[in-house]
Amino acid sequence: MVDENMGKRSRKVFEQKQPSSGKKDDDNEVILEPVISSDEPPLKQTKWTNKQRVLVFSSRGISHRARHLMIDLRTMMPHSKAESKMDRKDKLFVINEICEMKNCNKCIYFEAKKKMDLYMWVSNCPRGPSAKFLIENVHTMSELKMTGNCLKGSRPLLSFDQAFDEEPHLKLMKELFTQTFGTPNHHPKSQPFFDHVFTFSVSDNRIWFRNYQILEEDGSLAEIGPRFVLNPIRMFEGSFGGPTLYTNPHYVSPNIHRRMLRRQVAQKYIHRVHAKKSLDERKPEETYAKDITDDVFVTIRPEQNNQNG
Amino acid sequence: MVDLHASSDSEDIESDEELQQAFASGKLKPGLNVEVQAPKQHINNVSGMKQKLEELEQGLSWIDRLDLTNPPAPPPPGAAMETEDDGADIANNDFKRELRFYRQAQASVLVAIPKLHKLGIKTRRPEDFFAEMGKTDAHMKKVREKLLEKQQNIENRDKARKLRELRKYGKKNKLDFLEDKKGSGKGSKTQNRTEKPHQPNKRRQHKDTKYGFGGQKKRSKMNTKETSADMSGFSRKVHQSKPGKQFTNKNKNKGNRNKRPGKDQRHKMKNKKK
């Protein structure tokens, strides 16, 4: 009992001495304790309870714009961790193991195919749902039209469109986004004030993402970037696999989209031939009905008659 | 007679025997059968999604999530109130769409800031709080310069337009005064923008070399004192080394190593500069 009391007492002494050392700091001098026991555990910060860690990485073959987008997301999210590029030959299930090794419970994985198409997977790693999106219209933070700036690591406000409360798949996506993109409270790398807001809106069956800086408390904003559009493809019950919960009926894969465009161009000539044919068929032989008796009372002048005759 | 028969499980394998059997059993009718793809099945597992949502939810308070759901804020009273065509129309109309997102963010901010103040949390960054920003100061400087340049361009255009208008209708005295301020008519733009001394016209220069003084090159003498003593066509690399040495690279193995540092070093240098 004596030992416990001693331990407690010494800890209290340690705590009490902290403010006095703070005062010494104000004199621009840091005077350390004469004897510091290494057995004393450091003061634990128990405020950070929501332990969200997001693993943000990509596959090989990613374009420079997508790479900058990924770097921008890492800058915006202080609770993110980086990872080197993954070979696309490996099955996606491997990502769950990578997440476990890095102690992450969320993952944002950028998959680049054909150096043209960019897909984004957002997943809750051990058990939870995952979603695959096609990313379109990427603009990065470093574009000069994005004039806003924010503290690196400040907690973002998340603003969702009303449509997110109407469909079950959107509700699930909203929860996933909130937990992935929202910085946890009292995260050690986070900054105190609230100066930017992420916007998720639904338009044309796609999710539009914007990041604005709060200039004034009355609501004037400036765009910081990045900005991108997510086209939902599928939602899975498990992380990077499992039974499908939702497929997007409006989704057209980029390959099929390109094929349709090429077909349209190829069809141009065929359309023209068809159009000509149909015009020939529709065209009447006579433009208007001609009555022979209309000429009966036309007088032929004598000069014309001499010429003709 | 054309009979369109949707492909079913029994006709996946189109071997002759299978088709004969199907015909015999009456599933296949005579005539031309065209295989049509079944309409794509779209999955929308509402109950599964609800269950997953319950599993995923953490039950945290608002301050831990900071999420807000709201419609776009109403536009300012002066703006034209056009009917909003949701869906594809607004997605293609850039201006309207961005405005809508802006107003949605505004509405969220107007709801969130009072909420945070109620919880006793400071939202505004004080002027003397210096911390690392998402974009570097150098980048913000570039952005500011770009904005200033745009503004300057607009101002220049307006001034030039005003001057043109006045030229047509203004008095001579006023014109003189304005011209003194800005410089003479056509040259005013260039003089306003750059301070460099007058440079000869590039086109003029090119034409001079080609056609000036009788189109020199083609008609010039070839074997005079000046031309035979002219060493400008002599390449030291070709003539003063042994034959074949011109194309070898002395620094193939070692020289380039020290010239450009590797990716790691460059990254470190970049961070040091910051």
With tokens 């993954």, the residue in question is A86
pLDDT at A268 > cutoff 50? yes
Inter-chain CB proximity B86 and A203 less than 8 Å: yes
Question: B114-134 burial, b for 16+ CB within 10 Å, e for fewer?
Answer: eebeeeeeebebeeeeeeebb
Cα within 13 Å of Cα(B15), Cβ side = 4
pLDDT at B16: 83
Coil, strand or helix at B80: coil
Alpha-helix residue ranges (DSSP H) falling in B170-219: 172-182, 187-193, 202-219
Phi, psi of A209 (to 5 degrees): -115, 130
Residue B90 Cα, gap to closest chain A Cα (Å): 8
Residue range A233-256: mean pLDDT, rounded: 93
Chain A hits for B127, CB-CB cut-off 8 Å, are none
- Identify the band that residue A16 occupies on the pLDDT scale cut at 50, 70 and 90: very low
Which phi-psi region, left, alpha or beta, contains residue B213 (left: φ > 0; alpha: ψ -120 to 50)?
A: left
Of A124, A192, A245, the CB nearest to B49: A245
d(CA A192, CA B159): 47
CA B167 from chain centre, in angstroms, equals 40
Length of chain A: 309
The proportion of chain A whose per-residue pLDDT surpasses 90, expressed as a percent, equals 62
User: B214 or A308, which is more confident?
Assistant: B214
Which string of DSSP letters, residue by residue, matches chain A?
Answer: -HHHHHHHHHHHHHHHHHHHHHHHHHTT--PPPS---TTSPPPP---------EEEEEBSS--HHHHHHHHHHHHH-TTEEE-PPBPTTS-TTHHHHHHHHTT-SEEEEEEEETTTEEEEEEEESSSS-EEEEEEEEEE-TTSTT-----BTTBPPEEEE-GGGGTSHHHHHHHHHHHHHHSPPTT-TT-BSS--EEEEEEEETTEEEEEEEEE-STTS-EEE---EEEEEEEEEEEETTEEEEEEE-TT---HHHHHHHHHHHHHHHHHHHHHHHHHHHHHS-SSSSPPPGGGGTTPPPPHHHHHHH-
* Cis amide linkage into residue A226, ω under 30° from 0: yes
Q: Is the dihedral of CA A184, A190, A195, A196 positive or negative?
A: negative
Residue range A154-168: mean pLDDT, rounded: 93
Residue range A153-174: mean pLDDT, rounded: 93
Closest-CA residue of B relative to A203 is B87
Inter-chain CB proximity B91 and A203 less than 8 Å: yes
Chain A hits for B53, CB-CB cut-off 8 Å, are 168, 171-172, 175
- Identify the band that residue A18 occupies on the pLDDT scale cut at 50, 70 and 90: very low
d(CA A53, CA A55): 7
d(CA A212, CA A156): 10
Q: What does the pLDDT look like over A92-142, one tens digit per residue?
A: 889 999 999 999 999 999 999 988 899 999 999 888 899 999 999 999 999
DSSP class of residue B10?
G
ipTM entry:
0.75
Encoded tokens for A39: 């057995």
Chain B hits for A206, CB-CB cut-off 8 Å, are 91
pLDDT at A43: 60
Length of chain B: 274
- Between A and B, how many residue pairs show a Cβ–Cβ distance under 8 A? 183
Q: Is the dihedral of CA B50, B56, B61, B62 positive or negative?
A: negative
Of A149, A152, A157, the CB nearest to B109: A157
pLDDT at A31: 72
Closest CA to B134 of A141, A221, A28, A138: A141
Tell me the Cα Rg of chain B: 39
In this prediction the pTM is: 0.67
Which phi-psi region, left, alpha or beta, contains residue B216 (left: φ > 0; alpha: ψ -120 to 50)?
A: alpha
d(CA A238, CA A131): 10
Residue to test with chain A: of B37, B40, B56, B117, most A Cβ within 10 A? B56
d(CA A137, CA A140): 10
Cα within 13 Å of Cα(B136), Cβ side = 8
Inter-chain CB proximity A175 and B56 less than 8 Å: yes
Q: Cα angle at B16 between B12 and B17, to 5 degrees?
A: 90
Q: Say which residues have a Cβ less than 8 Å from residue B178's Cβ, sequence separation at least 6.
A: B163, B166
Q: What does the pLDDT look like over A169-211, one tens digit per residue?
A: 999 999 999 999 999 999 999 988 999 999 999 998 999 999 9
User: What's the distance, Cα to Cα, between the start and end of chain A in Å?
Assistant: 145
Of B52, B116, B132, the CB nearest to A245: B52
The proportion of chain A whose per-residue pLDDT surpasses 70, expressed as a percent, equals 86
Q: What does the pLDDT look like over B107-158, one tens digit per residue?
A: 999 999 999 999 988 888 888 888 899 999 999 999 999 999 999 999 999 9
Inter-chain CB proximity A221 and B90 less than 8 Å: no
Coil, strand or helix at B176: helix
Of B52, B104, B124, the CB nearest to A237: B52
Closest-CA residue of B relative to A193 is B123
- Identify the band that residue A305 occupies on the pLDDT scale cut at 50, 70 and 90: low
pLDDT at B93: 83
Closest CA to A40 of A7, A2, A1: A7
As to burial, measured by CB atoms within 10 angstroms (0-12 exposed, 13-18 middle, 19+ buried), residue A192 is: middle
pLDDT at B81: 55
As to burial, measured by CB atoms within 10 angstroms (0-12 exposed, 13-18 middle, 19+ buried), residue A268 is: exposed
Could you tell me if A201 and A161 are in contact, meaning their C-beta atoms sit under 8 angstroms apart? yes
pLDDT by 10-residue block (mean), chain B, 274 residues: 45 71 79 79 91 90 90 76 58 87 93 92 87 91 94 95 85 61 53 66 87 73 84 82 73 64 90 77
Phi, psi of B52 (to 5 degrees): -65, -35
Residue to test with chain A: of B58, B62, B84, B125, most A Cβ within 10 A? B125
Coil, strand or helix at B32: strand
